[in-house]
């Protein structure tokens, strides 16, 4: 409970969101403490979400995204993986509708594991999320 209270009152640096559209579309946001990067390969279809921190994530049986400030929601999974050095946590799935809704229609996002989190401001994210949603397969030559 204390973790949830702490997540609601912590300031979150407001740095720019950005995206690229191509054969694999990318949406990202970097803060001094952490970065969040989503990719979408529409030919699969496959989405990935990676949260990278300067210090390693501890091993956890679950990973959750908490969205606050609009259409609040919490989504979780046990299908996440840590990078070899433990600084990146990645989830992959064939659909990310709840994640994209959370990023587009809220003001804050939190990547949370058992006892740890990374916080992200969603200021300015909405137009980039909308463009990322429109990612479509690129025709081959």
Instruction: Return all residues near 98 (Cβ < 8 A) that are at least 6 apart.
Output: 73, 75
- pLDDT score at 25: 97
pLDDT at 33 over 60: yes
Give this prediction's pTM.
0.85
pLDDT of 43 over the 80 cut: yes
pLDDT at 34: 97
Tens of pLDDT, residues 62-110: 999 999 998 999 999 999 999 999 999 999 999 999 999 999 999 999 9
Q: What is the pLDDT of residue 99?
A: 97
Instruction: Sort 141 into a burial class: Cβ within 10 Å, 0-12 / 13-18 / 19+.
Output: exposed
Domain limits of the chain? 2-133
């Amino acid at each position: 409970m204390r973790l949830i209270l702490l997540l609601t009152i912590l300031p979150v640096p407001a740095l720019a969101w950005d995206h690229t559209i191509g054969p694999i579309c990318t949406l990202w946001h970097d803060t001094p403490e952490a970065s969040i990067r989503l990719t979408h390969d529409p030919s699969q279809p496959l989405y990935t979400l990676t949260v990278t921190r300067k210090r390693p994530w501890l091993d956890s049986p679950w990973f959750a995204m908490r969205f606050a400030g609009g259409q609040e929601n919490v989504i979780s999974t046990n299908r996440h993986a840590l990078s070899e050095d433990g600084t990146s946590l990645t989830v992959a799935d064939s659909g990310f509708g709840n994640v994209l809704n959370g990023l587009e229609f809220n003001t804050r996002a939190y990547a949370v594991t058992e006892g740890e989190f990374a916080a992200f401001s969603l200021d300015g994210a909405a137009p980039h999320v909308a463009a990322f949603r429109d990612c479509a397969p690129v025709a081959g030559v």
